Amino acid sequence: MEHTVNAAKCMKCGKITYPTHFYCPACGSTDFGAVAVEGEGTLLTFTRAYTLPLDYEDLYLTLGIVEMDQGIRATGQLDIDEPATGIRVLASVGPVRDVDGRTVYGLKFRAV
Angle made by CA atoms 55, 105, 70, in degrees to the nearest 5? 130
CB atoms within 10 A of CB 92: 13
Least distance (Å) from another protein to the CB of residue 30?
Answer: 18
Q: Is 50 helix (H, G, I), strand (E, B) or coil?
A: coil
Strand order in 16-17's β-sheet? 16-17, 6-10, 32-36
Q: Which of 54, 81, 101, 112 binds another protein (CB under 8 A)?
A: 54
Q: Which of 11, 27, 34, 49 binds another protein (CB under 8 A)?
A: 49
Q: Is residue 22 a contact residue for another protein (CB under 8 A)?
A: no
Residue 82 binds another protein, judged by CB under 8 A = no
63 is a site residue for another protein (CB under 8 A): yes
Query: Site residues (CB under 8 A) for another protein?
Result: 17-19, 44-54, 56-61, 63-65, 73-77, 85, 96-97, 99, 104, 106-107
